[in-house]
Amino acid sequence: MKNKLVCYFSAAQSEQPVVYRLIKNYDLIINILKADINPQKEGYLVIEVEGERDKYEAGVSFMKSMGIIVDPLSETVLWDEQICIQCGACASFCPTEALAIDRESMMVSFDNAKCVVCGMCLDCCPTRAIKLHFEIKEAV
Amino acid sequence: MAYQKSYEEINEKIKRGEAVVVTAEEVIDIVAEKGVAQAAREIDVVTTGTFGPMCSSGAFINFGHSKPRIKMKKVWLNGVEAYGGLAAVDAYIGAAQLPDNDPENNVYPGRFTYGGGHVIHDLVARKEVRLEAIAYGTDCYPNKQVDTIITLDDVNEAFIFNPRNAYQNYNCAVNLGDRTLYTYMGILKPRIGNASYSTSGQLSPLLNDPHYKTIGVGTRIFLGGGIGYVAWNGTQHHPNVLRGENGVPKVTAGTLAVIGDLKQMDPNWLVGLSYIGYGATMAVGIGIPIPILDEEMLLYTAVKDEDIYCPVVDFHEGYPYSKPIDLGFANFKELKSGRIEINGKSVVTTSQSSYPRARQIAAILKQWIQKGDFELSRPVAPLPSAEANIDFKSIPERKPDGNGLSGRNRR
């Protein structure tokens, strides 16, 4: 199975080689998507974890046993209307028509409810008006 | 005799705030409703607009002198090199220039998140920009290094000079290959997965004056949110091409070199762009007013999307290796509808040029003229027309001899 997780950890936990343990002891494939550690060494790690179900579950239990808070990742696509120049390139790559062009006004609009966060739009936007946003808790 | 108006008559009406100004979209319905003869009498000016990536753009800047003085040999703005092979503190920053340490396509496809176009945008947005320069030092210019922070207000002159903008028509790009391509026309999905186009069609300046009868050297224009001028024909200006019965080129044709004061411009209309796998560039906003001198000019400005065609070009082999692959023409109305048909297959279309922004430019220019803030200028010289028989040239393949060709001309 494969899942994206947000792991919040304290200063003491950040000293531990967590990712190394997940790979070495639980045979999991770890892809670090984002990491943010503040000067007090607290922070979070956004990882994609892939492996057999029992090992995946054991790995997550291991992290929880260390006091790390593990949450499923919720990603959203953000479209910044201020940066967008309305070229419309994104709409032709969006598989769900979440990004769509009104053919009268030729204006682009974004419907978050239709978005499946495939990320196709991120690469084709020349102004980088579309960003992937990880839902991260403010403080732990 | 057919009705005629002079530049002077039109400008008199502009000064009095009485000029009838419409956009290149609005004129279409007016002509359909009132007919050419009456519309030509009533309408004084038609405004056009385009807003899209225009790589051949950049700005000349004079930084003023350091103490002691410096003759800049190399110049960087936010790490992006500006050409310094000019007088002491003059430089030219090109829109497509990348930072020296840009990873380019080493990790393919590269991201190209910052370049010369972004620097120009940041300058116009009045952001602080790092200026670095090095020099070898001379008796008159002893300083060898500058490293400071500037804004657009700190420099003496800054003016846009774009050698090739406002292309009259442009190819519609597709990919006949089996892998995704990353091009200056954006991402092209394999096996004709999409068709990418870039012009504002019926709003585009040179498609509304196909024979350059009113647009010429000295024409006052909307440039980057300020006032600019047509300086010359643009590079690769090739008017002698296949045209439709309406005179509109069916392939890439005329281009414009334009100039204007960067300090008067607006960051909304000069926007740095990043094309994945290709490079950095800049979207430039241009609007050109067309005086309705006679019925003929009115007819040109009434051109509709359905009367404009562009060639479909393969970017897998056709364009990069100059292989003639005939994929026919795409109609602009169909391109704008979101789907076109190529080889019997329905293909989704990808736009690179912003039609809503082009529309906005035409509207702003219309407002400027209506308010009497912007008069029309008669060209001081025409652009080369189709009769000029300009040839398409390529780089010749010749073998330099042992002494080197450059050596021959040395004293």
Residue with tokens 């602009």, as numbered in its chain: B332
In the predicted structure, residue B274 carries a pLDDT above the cut 60: yes
Contact B273 A107 (CB under 8 A): no
pLDDT band at B338 (very low <50, low <70, confident <90, very high): very high
In the predicted structure, residue A107 carries a pLDDT above the cut 90: yes
Is A139 within a domain? no
**Which helix H or strand E contains B117, and what residues bound it?**
helix B116-124
Q: Do the Cβ atoms of B138 and B278 come closer than 8 Å?
A: no
Q: For residues A61 and A6, state if they share a domain.
A: yes
Q: What's the confidence (pLDDT) of residue B280?
A: 98
In the predicted structure, residue B408 carries a pLDDT above the cut 60: no
Looking at the structure of chain A, the number of domains it has is 2
Q: Report how far residue B265's alpha carbon sits from residue B122's, in angstroms, rounded to the nearest whole number.
A: 12
CATH code, domain with A54: 3.30.70.260
Q: Which of A103, A106, A124 sits opposite B186 (nearest CB)?
A: A124
pLDDT band at A3 (very low <50, low <70, confident <90, very high): confident
Q: For residues A64 and A8, state if they share a domain.
A: yes
Residues of A in contact with B187 (CB under 8 A): 93, 123-124
Whether residue B55 lies in the annotated active site? no
Q: What's the confidence (pLDDT) of residue B210?
A: 98
pLDDT digit string, tens, across residues B41-69: 999 999 999 999 999 999 999 999 999 99
Residues of B in contact with A106 (CB under 8 A): 336, 351, 355-356, 359
Catalytic hit among B55, B140, B172, B310:
B140
* Predicted TM-score of the model (pTM): 0.89
Average pLDDT over all residues of chain B: 96
Residue with tokens 């004056």, as numbered in its chain: B209
Half-sphere exposure of B168 (CA within 13 A, CB side): 33
Q: Do the Cβ atoms of B224 and B271 come closer than 8 Å?
A: no
Residue with tokens 């519309």, as numbered in its chain: B39
- State the Cα angle at A76 between A71 and A79, rounded to 5°: 155
Predicted ipTM > 0.85: yes
Least confident of A109-123, B207-221, B268-282: A109-123
Q: Which domain holds residue A125?
A: 75-134
Q: What's the confidence (pLDDT) of residue B403?
A: 60
Q: For residues A64 and A15, state if they share a domain.
A: yes
Average pLDDT, integer, range A65-90: 92
Least confident of A2-16, B156-170, B218-232, B392-406: B392-406
Average pLDDT, integer, range B312-320: 98
pLDDT band at A12 (very low <50, low <70, confident <90, very high): confident
Q: For residues A50 and A111, state if they share a domain.
A: no
Is A140 within a domain? no
Q: For residues A88 and A102, state if they share a domain.
A: yes
State how far residue A13 is from chain B, nearest Cα, in angstroms.
33
Q: What's the confidence (pLDDT) of residue A138?
A: 61
Q: Work out the end-to-end distance of chain A between its first and last CA atoms, rounded to an integer number of angstroms.
A: 27
Q: What's the confidence (pLDDT) of residue B405?
A: 58
Q: What's the confidence (pLDDT) of residue A115?
A: 87
Q: What's the confidence (pLDDT) of residue B378?
A: 97
- The residue out of A72, A95, A124 marking a domain boundary is A72
pLDDT band at B82 (very low <50, low <70, confident <90, very high): very high
Q: For residues A19 and A33, state if they share a domain.
A: yes
